[in-house]
Structure 1
């Protein structure tokens, strides 16, 4: 998971231009100018580009209707058949057009390719454990209502950094991967040291080192916000991390009717 991690990219915020809207509306030409004979072609274009089953099926229905009209037993089938398909197709296209433009604009924002179905939403994160009854406060570090690191991590105080064994120190100086069992300060550790942590990897480690000067990492909550860590990822890293500003801090007992937030 951490090997493919990338920081959130800025989404395209500008509204679509008139030229882009006209380009994305060219699929209407065979519907407007085909007089019922090529209505199927317009829906086939948007159905193939977005791989949406409903538009592909609609294209097939219009194609069958256009092909069947000459073989109908009524004498005026050609006179009224194609105009009826033409009018119905235009009305149908005007109804579908907003959905198509939204689909096309969302693909442009997300950088999704054409001729592929829209990917499903990513699997949601596992739910947090049930919270005890009582007043809920806002976490001062993350700003999230009623959720702090103490909600899903063990409430043991953070200990001072452990001394690295001589063998581990020798490996670190020689360029080998540092030992994971040594506690690291995210504010001072190197990229290689951070990359050895569970769920960290080099992309996250490089991002942390590049941004920790402007965004100091003094607590685990700040690390969670900076790297967008999931609860299980933060729990796995916690035993290998230490923070200079909170190494000697002790946890106060919860007050009656609520709990003390980690600050």
Structure 2
């Protein structure tokens, strides 16, 4: 079997058989159980099976998710401060990443050959998102993603991701109790479920895609960036076309700058 095999996955985005606005959103927990009942019908109409529906039935309104969502302040640090806070020592961060690259040279060579995304970019993202897998979140994915899908602030954006999360449960890609970040981001590089379904890639050729297994997560990250316009063999420093692709991963300029600068150090 080839080292990589693209996963045959489709997102549930914009394919509703009933309009999302038929659901009654809310800003407190009081209407969540009624919303889950209606959302279950929407999910069922869009192909979610019994395993996914069971996971939805067990979902709880996440006050931690709502607190995190209400208190977002954006990334306002200067670049040096952001690097210090997010990465610690820039050299130390790059050293950790290079050790991971040196321990898995065939993997990183194969992913770059297939997608054209350098290992430094992938390792910078991996390290910045979860500390190379050490901190992948503390809130149940299904509860957090359904909570923000129910919440009136951005329900239309999150509803497709909530359906995708239930589809992932159906397919065995996500445990019903799996932990992730406060807005339903999951795995080593913190994919939203709809993106996980659309860009998921098998990183070791075993026929499965598991975002909590780092080779699959990094292959999927490379697949995402390539699909968003990454140009193989081209520079990725600030002002380049590839740097602009990093905006698809995270809209904060300082975040993009930190990825590019870290990747340059990692790939030296």
TM-score between the two structures when normalised by the length of structure 1: 0.29
**Rg larger for:** 1
TM-score between the two structures when normalised by the length of structure 2: 0.29
Structure with greater contact order relative to length (CA < 8 Å, sep ≥ 6): 2
The structure where helix makes up a greater share of residues is 2
